[in-house]
Structure 1
Amino acid sequence: MELTESHIRLLSKGDRKAFRLLYENFFIALCIFARGFHLEREEAEDIVQEVFCKLYDERHLFTNVSSLKSYLYSSIKNGCLNYIRGEKRRKDRESHYYDDVDEERTFFNDIVESEVYRELKMLMDELPPQCRNIFERVLQGATSEEIAEALQLSVETVKTQRKKAKQILRERYNLLYNIFGILF
């Protein structure tokens, strides 16, 4: 379910279901974004968890989805940079630093990429199970023949399900198709 302005209002009042929805909508995308700072999975997840804890305390600050997203991504970015700086001091090793111009460009690109993955995941979760399973394998680079063999299906069934998944995804999110048409 997509997060809406009404969820933000409920969140500001301490509604646990609204917070859970927020968490489910953004956790994976924020972890992917944090991993873009060359962190291990566990480190990225820890930072995201910390941001969600802090968000719960400061939930009253948000009036709309855009300001909440901005807060989440900026907090993750700052949390990651602070972690990297801390690691550098503790271990006296080189860390990856961005200059100001490249940092903003990379930051924006990483946000867009994370959001696209989040949207694609939400759309794929709506696919029928067999379509989703086949399409996930296609995105991982498997051929129709490999998928058919692994799932003990005919190649034609795989192609039909693949086509069905593409059609559903196109219908439900044309913008994603326009941006990443080559995937489909």
Structure 2
Amino acid sequence: MREGEKKFTLKSFKKLFESLYPQLCVFAYKYLNDLEISKDIVQEVFVKVWEDEISFENENHATGFFYKAVKNRSLNYLKSKSYKLTERYELANIEMYDTEEFYMSEAVVIETTSVIEKAINKLPDKAAQVIRLSIEDYTNNEIANELSISINTVKDHKKVAYRKLRDILSFLRIK
């Protein structure tokens, strides 16, 4: 173990698992197109880290490691004999998935989505519901009907939500 690295306690490992597991499953799914196998692969990576007592300098180092490990396990699965025998194997797709551009773009999308979801969770309940429906391309009329509120109330919730999201996500602005 290098200096500055710390071993996980059960509590810190559980916290890391809970914070990364959902987005890593989505990340693996981008490669595998199968949620159950994606979950299995992510769990295997976490088990391996725990069993091997791998330590990290900081949370960013751990996050990067987990994304890279899930990517590699997913690609290995796609290259495996069992996958080739049971699924339509397309070498061109695997080669595309194995590029740094694909890896980085998917990791950025998933991490950004996670940050935005955490920000939306900090909104008042109705404002969060309105924003989620808006993200799903519901019109103001459809949102009003879905939530049994007036169109003006939908607009008010959006105004409040956008103002709060601007504040919460201000750290993302390029200066």
Report the TM-score, using the length of structure 1 for normalisation. Answer: 0.81
The answer on whether the counterparts of 2:32 and 2:78 sit within 8 Å (CA) in structure 1 is no
Q: What are the Cα deviations for residues 109-153 of structure 1, in whole angstroms up to 9, with x where unaligned?
A: 111111101111111111111111111111011011101111110
Letter in 2 for 1:148: A
Over aligned residues, Cα RMSD in angstroms?
2.2
2:99 to 96, 103, 125: 103
* 2:45 is the alignment partner of 1:48: no
How many residues align? The count is 167
Structure 1 residue ranges (4+ consecutive) displaced by more than 6 angstroms after TM superposition: none
Displacement of 1:19: 2.1
Match of residue 144 from structure 2? 148
Displacement of 1:164: 0.9
* 2:106 is the alignment partner of 1:121: no
> Which region of structure 1 is more displaced relative to structure 2, 58-67 or 77-86?
58-67
The answer on whether the counterparts of 1:51 and 1:75 sit within 8 Å (CA) in structure 2 is yes
Match of residue 181 from structure 1? none
Q: Within 2, Cα distance between the matches of 1:132 and 1:145?
A: 17
Displacement of 1:158: 0.8
Displacement of 1:59: 4.4
Displacement of 1:21: 2.0
In structure 2, the CA distance between the partners of 1:125 and 1:55, relative to structure 1 (3 Å rule), is farther
SS at match of 1:61: coil
1:57 to 33, 38, 51: 51
Q: Within 2, Cα distance between the matches of 1:59 and 1:161?
A: 47
1:136 to 132, 143, 157: 132
Letter in 2 for 1:91: T
Q: What are the Cα deviations for residues 34-92 of structure 1, in whole angstroms up to 9, with x where unaligned?
A: 11114211111111111122222244421211220121011100110111112444337
Q: Within 2, Cα distance between the matches of 1:104 and 1:13?
A: 29
Q: Within 2, Cα distance between the matches of 1:109 and 1:175?
A: 20
SS at match of 1:98: helix
* 2:168 is the alignment partner of 1:172: yes
SS at match of 1:82: helix
Match of residue 160 from structure 1? 156
In structure 2, the CA distance between the partners of 1:37 and 1:60, relative to structure 1 (3 Å rule), is closer
The answer on whether the counterparts of 1:134 and 1:147 sit within 8 Å (CA) in structure 2 is yes
Q: Within 1, Cα distance between the matches of 2:84 and 2:151?
A: 55
Match of residue 14 from structure 1? 9
Gaps of 5+ in 2: none
1:90 to 77, 85, 94: 85
Displacement of 1:99: 5.2
Report the TM-score, using the length of structure 2 for normalisation. Answer: 0.85
